Amino acid sequence: MVTVSVPEKTYQVQILKGMRHEIGKRIQQVWSTRQVLVMTDENVAALYLSDTVTQLQAAGYQVTTLVLPAGEHSKSLACLEKAIARLAEKYFTRADGVIALGGGVIGDLAGLTAATYMRGIAFIQIATSLTAQVDSSVGGKTAINLGQTKNIMGTFYQPDLVLIDPTYLKTLANRDLVEGYAEVVKSSALAGGEFWQLTGRIQTVNDILTNASELITQSVTYKAKIVMQDERETGIRKYLNFGHTIGHAIELLAAGGLRHGEAVSIGMVAITKRFVAENVSSFEFLQALSQRLRVVGLPITSALVSQPAMIAQLAHDKKNLSGILQLVAVKEPGQPVIIKKSLAEMTEFIEGAS
């Protein structure tokens, strides 16, 4: 268990194998009996929704469900409107709550739904994907996409509880599991030390599953430490965007051809190559980073990185402050730094290591 404490909220991230059979009991520890909306996607619904609803009803909760299409396109204004309309239709009040049952897309959308309905109702995350378990379910970021801009509309809104059961991962396709592992490697690079050594021992997809509890706990522990120091991303929380500036841009340009974690994997290697060329990051770190990603089947290169459209997309990055991007470099494992580059410099910067 990891405790996250920020100025207006303290909550637990509970990590335990088999916990998906104790959902009602776990939620009773933080919520009184109330109406709840369980938001999920079609893939997760087929596997876990019925059992989850049964447990919640047995614990005394009045359950409404909303099942959305799986995929990034559900992080949209249309789906946000649909979720809020469902709450209004069922006469939800500020005493009720929203539960996200799913991965990062559902977690982001459900969090924004809870944050905006009646200016804020209670919210719980049940994270079923590795991406959600190690990253997106913790820290309070909620968002949807607008057009070709990722996560541009959102807020910081902390949950009341995060439940993580590593056994959910057994039903993920290999590609879905591995894309989440990119976020684990990212956190281990930022943290350094024993966590970085742990990811160095992961050599196969099966190793990810075998070591899932420790990988999740280390990731959540590191992220919680950062979030508790900088909830609103005004300082060191920007470190968590390592690989994401380029990653988000090429993810959008790939139009569904790249998963989020795959794009982040490419983004981490691409940005590190550029910083090796500028003598900020070491070549040894680049090699070790690339090996950790490549060995489980993550992509580390893409022709999209050097396209003019990718560089143009950087203007929409949330770390663009008046034309200045705040890029994350890792000098050595455990040594992240922020490097500022103007948008005007980015073409030369990107092409310099191509």
The question of whether 292 is a catalytic residue gets the answer no
Active-site entry in 20, 26, 75, 141: 141
The question of whether 345 is a catalytic residue gets the answer no
Q: Could you tell me the two tokens for 255?
A: 């139009």
- Amino acid identity, position 188: S
Active-site entry in 183, 231, 251, 262: 183
Cβ 18 vs Cβ 165: under 8 Å: yes
Cβ 272 vs Cβ 239: under 8 Å: no
150 assigned to a ligand binding site = yes
Outline where DSSP puts E strands in 117-264: 122-127, 141-146, 149-156, 161-164
Active-site entry in 43, 145, 151, 241: 241
Active-site entry in 20, 75, 186, 223: 223
State the Cα angle at 318 between 316 and 324, rounded to 5°: 80
- Amino acid identity, position 294: R
205 assigned to a ligand binding site = no
25 assigned to a ligand binding site = no
| Residue 76: φ, ψ to 5° | -135, 160
The question of whether 233 is a catalytic residue gets the answer yes
The question of whether 241 is a catalytic residue gets the answer yes
Cβ 96 vs Cβ 35: under 8 Å: yes
141 assigned to a ligand binding site = yes
The question of whether 21 is a catalytic residue gets the answer no
Active-site entry in 20, 75, 237, 273: 237
75 assigned to a ligand binding site = no
244 assigned to a ligand binding site = yes
Q: How far apart are CA 18 and CA 349, in angstroms?
A: 47
The question of whether 73 is a catalytic residue gets the answer no
104 assigned to a ligand binding site = yes
Residue burial 281-315, b: 16+ Cβ < 10 Å; e: rest: bbeebbebbbebbeebebbbebebbeeeebbebbe
List the one residue out of 14, 283, 268 whose CA is nearest residue 166. Answer: 14
Active-site entry in 20, 26, 75, 248: 248
334 assigned to a ligand binding site = no
317 assigned to a ligand binding site = no
Active-site entry in 20, 75, 259, 260: 260
Per DSSP bridges, beta strands 2-6 and 149-156 are unpaired
Active-site entry in 89, 119, 170, 348: 119
Categorise residue 316: left if φ over 0, alpha if ψ from -120 to 50, beta otherwise: alpha
Active-site entry in 244, 273, 292, 318: 244
End-to-end CA distance of the chain: 43
Active-site entry in 233, 251, 274, 292: 233
The question of whether 183 is a catalytic residue gets the answer yes
Q: Which helix (DSSP H) or strand (DSSP E) does residue 101 occupy? A: strand 97-102
Residues placed in the known binding site for NAD(+): 104-108, 128-129, 141, 150
| Catalytic positions | 119, 141, 183, 223, 233, 237, 241, 244, 248, 260
> Annotated binding residues for Zn(2+), as ranges?
183, 244, 260
- Give the annotated binding-site residues: 104-108, 128-129, 141, 150, 183, 244, 260
